[in-house]
Structure 1
Amino acid sequence: MKFLKLGKEGLIELSLLLYKNKMKNKKYRSIKFYRYFLLISAMVYFFFAMIFYYSRTIQDPMPIEQRLLTGFIFFGLYILTQLSHCFEERIDRIAYFSAIFVIVQLIYLSYVQGFEFEVSINILLILAIINLIFKGDRLALYTNIILALLLGVALYFTDNPQHSLFSFFVGYLVIAGLTYYISNQNYKTAQVLQASEQRYRTIFNTAPFGILLEDKEGTILEVNKTLCEISGYNKKELEGAKITDNLVASDQFEISKQHIKEVLEGKELEFDTISITKNNEKIYTHIKESPIILPGGEQGILSMQIDITERKKQEEIIKQQRNIIEQLHSTALKFMELESETEVLEMTIEAAHDLLDFEFCNIRFLKNDKLVGKVSSSEVLKPISKNEGIAGKAFREGKSIIIDNFDDFPNLESENKNYKSGMSIPIKNLGVFQAISKEKAAFSSEDLKLAELLISHTASSLERIYAEEEIKYKTFHDKLTGLYNRRFFEEELERLDTNRQLPLSIIMADINGLKKINDTLGHKKGDELLVKTANILKKVIRDEDILARWGGDEYVIVLPKTSNEETKKVIKRIHEKTSETKGDQLTVSLGIGSAIKNTKEQDITKILKQADKVMYKDKSSHRK
């Protein structure tokens, strides 16, 4: 079973990369990380406020009010990120600028105290930490430059410094530059990894088969979209659960455990099994499992799955048919899947060429007393009379013919002088299948029997297709007028009853005087009037409108996206067309009513009844 051109190694690498990045994204720079940063920062301020407040020997370089206020600011931001989605979305920037505020605060305190070493050294320490834990993007670069300028101005205006300000400033620039460089490189690497992960994620999720990663205990670590579609579960329901919790049938538990054991021992397995969907349906899946090493160094399993339920069902059908009909050719099964005449005829020629080894063959169908070429394995066919050649003889007589040598039958010779022998098989009253050869006596009686078996399948398939097309047509069309019938109209009305189609207009029309025509001129004339009315209505509607015979002498039209004014125009055109029939033996006169659905709250059934009511009111006015 081939899963992808990536190959096993590529799939393993892809799955592990996605899982590794997934684990990394959960561990670093998450919303939880930034919340902890804000909370711990607040706790640090409160802690030192208590230390300095209760200690009489250590003097706090920061006023206690300022320290407490800063702590409350950090704690308030922490609370806001818990309560507000807006703050949560921007928590990385909030945390970053809060940290920058700490540096600005330290620069100010250092300036006030003449840049004492014990205070100013904290600027370097905090700056290094902030640069390393936050991403080194352009904002960080500009912020570092502004902080450096701010520090430079503060140092410039400092009186009586406690140590060499120039050395301190140089040290600051070195630390700021070095830590930003490290952070920037990490940020760039993260961006590259993110782009790579996105590309692989697309492949992973759009793979046409299910992919699953599990650990040695059978716990699902990662699944793709296709596997979710196959199983009916979403990612949250699968990831973190045991493989046996949702995906394995109860009678397959022990087999599943044995498979896990074998794969962990280094074996690669490929097998068909029964799985359970979320809807508790049993499906057949083809599975390929390979051992892998997870990012943490532990053993794991890569599982690739394809839903083969339909294939299994088809196999069961084939088995049943083989038991009922011996010698049933595989082509007959393929014919059952075809939906058009062209497909059947093309497959017939293909089967005759590939299975029966007929080099040159064709099919002609009768049209206007000529056998017209439909399909051919070689040359383009010219129409011939049904009275000509071997094909015409087989069609007229309704039986198969083999000619070993066309030279012996001048009146049945082939159109092409290069062909020496051939056979023709009638396809009921439809046409003829013909095989020809450049060699004499190329076809045996066994060849004829096999070809007749093939053509019998062809004829049966064509009859099925024609019958289905006729049934489909009759199911949705009125036999007399050729219009859609009431059943089809009701289904279409339900389909069109959406907001997109508003305003949705309905026109009801009823023939005036049909009963009188039937009584005086006969039902045949009445039927002609029905057909004549249908043809008039066809001419006035658009392609997207639906016209149907509602029943008896009533017709109905649904007009999607049609306003009241536009509906009136349609009704006006109908009256104009019917007026043109005045003077005819069969004059068309209609009672017409309409109604419009403008809002989704309106009931389309009531709209239909409203149009019917208006129609009968109009019909009554004609009687007066």
Structure 2
Amino acid sequence: MTVTSIDVLDSVVDITAQTESDTISESLITTVLQLTPANQVLVLDYNSEATPEFMVVACSDIFLYEDERDAIERVIKNCVLIGENIVEYSNDDNQALLAVPVRCGEKGEIEAVVFCKADELKGDEVQLIEGLTKIYENYQKIISASERDGLTGLYNRKVLTSKIDLLLDRFLIQGDTILDCPSSTHWVCLFDVDQLKIINDSLGHVYGDEILLLITAIMKQVFSEDDILFRYGGDEFVVIMHPQSREEMESTVRRFMQAVHERDYGQAKDVAISLGAAAISEDEMNAITVIGYADQALYKAKQNGRSQLAFYEDLIASGELQSFVPEDDVEMF
């Protein structure tokens, strides 16, 4: 396969034309397939504290990870262990297996791995894949900065639905491996600060911002590293919680609400939050719907006296809410 400098330049243009983390991953896969002998490519998130440690972000073959899990995980784990490229050859089908680490964290920690499978990989072809991965890595850092809220450093509104949609896609790609226990599920929690407008009006917006920063710090202390934290805007926040039972989830959320309420905010007294929660089901493949569930639960929590926790599923079961049906072309917020 002859690759020209124009081919490489075009691929860089294609990768950097993307504006979201997930679409960059898909563009990288397309580029590697076009410019190298690789016939299958995976991009996997890596988190040593999570179960499982590796999660498929994008792939050229939706069945590859499940069909060849042992061989793939052996190579990518070795890659993470030594922190460098790994090239192995499969004894079963004489295929070359390549794993390249992606370092996107503030401390240069490995946060992802690019895995490729090919009939044969020469040295310059490995270098090309490594170079494309480095471009991908650098551009991911730029995109990541644009996805963060300027005040709190949490993910912003721009990427909320895409993160949920990615999670739902993984149900399709990895099936039951996402959930080790049938009683566990991901959760979406939507909350806002009760009466923050009154605090802003009486003490000033700088004081209100300080309260938001203190609440953000509590979020980071209470919620797991596997949970995804967002500032939706204003005093609204969203948490996507990792798979766990209803009891575990509710225990964490109530501990968070109590920590917020008990924190000393100086002149601002009795700061509290109201929270709505909804389960993410593999049967519900629509981010807007899931957010809508949590939003309706939050509305009921505030109706019931604020500083409350409400579950969408409970409200449906009790008849307090009717099933939420979103319009396909309408954004929830």
Which structure's CA Rg is the greater one? 1
Q: Which has the higher contact order (CA 8 A, sep 6+)?
A: 2
TM-score by length of 2: 0.47
Which structure has greater helix proportion?
Answer: 1
TM-score by length of 1: 0.26
Which structure has greater strand proportion?
Answer: 2
